[in-house]
Amino acid sequence: MTMINDGAGETFGLRLSRGARSLEAETGAMPGFDASGASLRRIGRSKAQVRPGAYRDGGKRAFDLVVVLCAALPVAFVVLVISLALMLSGQRPFYAQTRLGRQGRPFRMWKIRTMLPDAEEALAAHLDADPEARAEWQHSQKLRHDPRITPLGHFLRRSSLDELPQLFNVLRGEMALVGPRPMLPEQSAYYPGEEYYQMRPGLTGFWQTSERNAASFAQRAEYDRSYYRALSFATDLRVMLRTLLVVARGTGL
């Protein structure tokens, strides 16, 4: 299996994994998933049929703006406190990565820094000293105990607070509150669907709140296809409620 790391601790396989969990119980009946939770069907290249409506045509963007503006002051306070803590420890608080947005347009996605300044050197030293960790890294490009992540960074990831700066991307219209996981440019070659490019990527979504780490690109495209077809105000509310449960469990996004 070929593995690609997205630079933020997420790794994706290119093989279609078995036993993908059905999302019906979590987000309602969503087309594209086997009701038994069995292996996913082959994804078509044509655009999926969609539900017409005011929410899809503009209401979703209006809803995003209302939520972001209402949350602006408390979020700004939390980000300020975290930023001061990082600066006092000698770190720059923010970093940005290039991701693909709607219609494949690149944009800079912002996050709070969770790794050491010399992260790659720390990783290399750890892998040289620990054969088991080296084998784990070679298998998945992920470590259960990653030496690059700071103690504060572990907390930020578990609580998903490192994602808060992406609300700025939502405000700018580059992202949505709910949508596909933002894709790195180099990952597009492995993505078999088209629905991703018809939507703004999301701060949370079907894939982010489901089997994120085990999902292949084919599964990821199926999540996006299902969301594209089921997109509605009720669907977004269900996803946002499930996101609160994920954050409460401390599993991050």
pLDDT at 249 over 90: no
Query: Residue 165's pLDDT is what?
Result: 97
pLDDT at 46 over 60: no
Rounded to whole angstroms, the Cα distance separating 103 from 79 reads 30
Mean pLDDT of the region 163-171: 97
Rounded to whole angstroms, the Cα distance separating 20 from 144 reads 22
pLDDT per residue over 228-243, tens digit each? Answer: 999 999 999 999 999 9
Mean pLDDT of the region 20-37: 40
Token pair for residue 158? 């578990």
Give the model's confidence band at 1: pLDDT under 50 very low, under 70 low, under 90 confident, else very high: very low
Query: Residue 141's pLDDT is what?
Result: 53
**β-bridge pairing 94-100 and 11-13:** unpaired
How many Cα atoms are found within 13 Å in the side-chain-facing hemisphere of 142? Answer: 14
Query: Residue 213's pLDDT is what?
Result: 54
Instruction: Tell me how long the chain is.
Output: 253
pLDDT per residue over 48-58, tens digit each? Answer: 555 567 898 89
Query: Residue 3's pLDDT is what?
Result: 47
Rounded to whole angstroms, the Cα distance separating 227 from 151 reads 35
Q: What is the pTM of this model?
A: 0.72
Percent of the chain topping pLDDT 70: 74
Mean pLDDT of the region 121-148: 75
| More confident position, 120 or 189 | 189
